[in-house]
Amino acid sequence: MFDLIKRLTDSFGVSGNEEGIRETIINEIKNDIQEISVDTLGNLIAIKPGKGKKIMVAAHMDEIGVMATYIDEKGFIRFANIGGVSSFVSVGQKVRFKNGTIGAVFYEDKLEDMKNLKLSKMYIDIGAKDKNEAEKSVRIGDVACFMGDAVRQSDMVFSKAIDDRSGCAVLIKAIKELPQTDNEIYFVFTVQEELGLRGAKTAAYQLKPDMAIAVDVTATGDTPEAQLMEVKCGYGPAIKIKDRSIICHPEVKKLLEQSANNINIPYQYEVLEFGGSDPGAIHISAGGVPSGAISIPCRYVHSPVEAASLEDMENAVKLLVEAIK
């Protein structure tokens, strides 16, 4: 699992720019599933045909990042966020543009109070001497991802983009481990989730599934002085009950509970009081789709040191396969 996570988190895929990660995933699954297509927005759709229930399984490929908006005379780059980027978490980080250019993120010296730190008062330094030199590497509109190589320590992995490459990994493994089944299963690697659940909406419209299960990360309440939340890393995948975008369908929730009990894996319940996720868009698309989600507990979401348990991911694969087979 760790090697797969490493390959996936290494790939470039800032929202709206999922070309790199899409290639990586196609390479992972092309020998395991015949029907693979890419739609207008860039969603990667892999279909296991069948005559039974039509089930959509979704994980988003995109990750948060930044976009160059202005290059000044000295070659410093101003930027905007793509998805939920915290100014505090960004300070002192390295970012990597699609073409490999690396930059350091810092803030204007004259800032007196850290509380006033805003992205508009920050910049990316790519070490260019002036605007001309900078423009050779970076153009307005170019995007960069945060750098944070995946590392493993016992059961935990620390990396950027575990949100939601861990979900992608779960789908990839499920494709490989899926036993014979009548169900028609759509494995969808969606785009632009971090910009507002956009890819999932159009994918669900095209596929019109009978049911949908998304796999994404969720926040935890197991760190020092954390906001109250029941979910803990390493205590099994979480069955989503609600977040800001969806109240999960009771039948899907029940199916996931029964599946977890059948195979005897630990699981938890997730009630997320902030944030939304792909099933939020799926369940109100195409006339309505009963939807639910399996969540990977993840600390420090939207930072370069997102942390999650490999065993939780392995158990999520087992749970997903049991539920859709």
Partner 1 sequence: MYIKELTELNGVSGNEDEVREYIKKCIKELVDEISIDSMGNLIAFKKGKNSKYKVMLSAHMDEVGFMVTGFGESGVVKFATVGGIDERILPGKRVLVGEKNIPGVIGSKPVHMQEREERNVNIKLKKMYIDIGTDKREETEKLVSLGDYVAFYSPYTQFGEGLVKAKALDDRVGCAILIEALKERYEFDLYACFTVQEEVGLRGSEIAAYTVNPDIALVVEGTTCSDVPGVEKSEYSTVLGDGAALTIMDRTSYPSKNFVNYIFELAQKSKLSIQFKQTNSGGNDAGKIQMSRGGVVTASISVPCRYIHSPVSVMSEKDFNSCRDIVIAVLKDLGKNQQLIENMKRI
Q: What residues are labeled active site?
A: 193
What b-and-e string marks burial along 189-223, b requiring 16 or more CB atoms within 10 Å of the CB?
bbbbbbeebbbbbbbbebbebebbbbbbbbbbeee
Q: Which is nearer to partner 1, 47 or 156 (CB)?
A: 47
For 83-100, b/e burial (b = at least 16 CB within 10 A) is bebebebbeebebbbbee
State the nearest-atom distance from the C-beta of 207 to partner 1, in Å: 9
Q: How far is the CB of 123 from partner 1 (least distance, A)?
A: 9
Q: Which is nearer to partner 1, 28 or 142 (CB)?
A: 142
CB of 202 to partner 1, least distance (A): 4
Cβ proximity to partner 1, 45 vs 256, nearer residue: 45
Measured between alpha carbons, how far is 114 from 108 in angstroms, rounded to an integer?
A: 11
Specify whether the CB–CB gap between 293 and 216 falls below 8 A: yes
DSSP character string of 164-203 = HHHHHHHHHHHHHH--S-SSEEEEEEES-GGGTSHHHHHH
Q: Which is nearer to partner 1, 120 or 261 (CB)?
A: 120
Least distance CB 220 / partner 1 (angstroms): 29
Binding site for partner 1 (CB under 8 A): 15-17, 38-43, 67, 69-70, 72, 78, 80-82, 120, 140-141, 192, 195, 198-199, 201-203, 205-206
